[in-house]
Copies of this chain bind each other. A is one copy, B any other.
Amino acid sequence: MEANSLETKEVAQSPTLLSTDALLEHWQGHRKLTRRVIEAFPEDQFYTFSIGGMRTFAQLTMEIVGLAAPGIRGITYGDWTFSEPVLDHSTPAPTTKQEVLNLWDLVTEYIETLWPQIDPNRFYETEAAFGMYENTILNTLLYLIDNEIHHRAQGYVYLRALGVEPPAFWDR
């Protein structure tokens, strides 16, 4: 995240394109697809299968969850501290896929609830996301979405290796 080089001044200088509503819909569309990838995993392989020493899809899912929940809170309120009941990056996965999906849905609702409270100017503010990654709020969010696409795609390879047809990439 450190190296993302989009600059606030450029955002302000050239015509703007993406609306806050469209950005939320873009994010939630990707989250819907990731949810379907979680669903597609056989229960046991979700927790155990990996390739080349990589994390299991349960662990990758928990990274996405553990960035999205404190992420939307930090984006909305500027509070990047971690405390219960907010998840962080190292929270272990619940022991059943259904509980992971329930957690996923909780985060989806949390995002829907907080989003309307975000001042649009907030997206241009530069802040150390998660207390570490100095960037504009917009770039931090785009990074979270890109990171989700990246790890979800690794799940696609796991599913293919397991002989399971993954959900269509274009279906949000």
Which residues on A are within 8 Å of B, measured CB to CB? 1-7, 10-23, 25-26, 29-30, 51-54, 120, 123, 138, 142-143, 146-147, 149-154, 156-163, 169-172
Contacts and interface: CB of A to CB of B under 8 A. Distances in A.
Nearest to A15: B120
A135 B172 CA distance: 14
16 contacts: A1-B170, A3-B170, A5-B29, A6-B22, A10-B19, A10-B21, A10-B25, A11-B17, A11-B21, A13-B19, A14-B120, A15-B19, A16-B16, A150-B153, A150-B169, A152-B153
B26 A142 contact: yes
A148 to B, nearest CB: 9
| Dominant secondary structure of chain A at its interface with chain B | helix
Given A157-B51, A157-B52, A170-B1, A19 B11 contact: yes
Q: Say how many copies of this protein the assembly contains.
A: 2
Nearest to A148: B149
Given A149-B150, A149-B153, A19 B12 contact: yes
A14 B22 contact: yes
Given A18-B138, A21-B13, A52 B1 contact: no
Given A3-B170, A170-B1, A20 B11 contact: no
Nearest to A53: B160
Contact of A16 (B5, B18, B146): B18
A31 to B, nearest CB: 13
A13 to B, nearest CB: 7
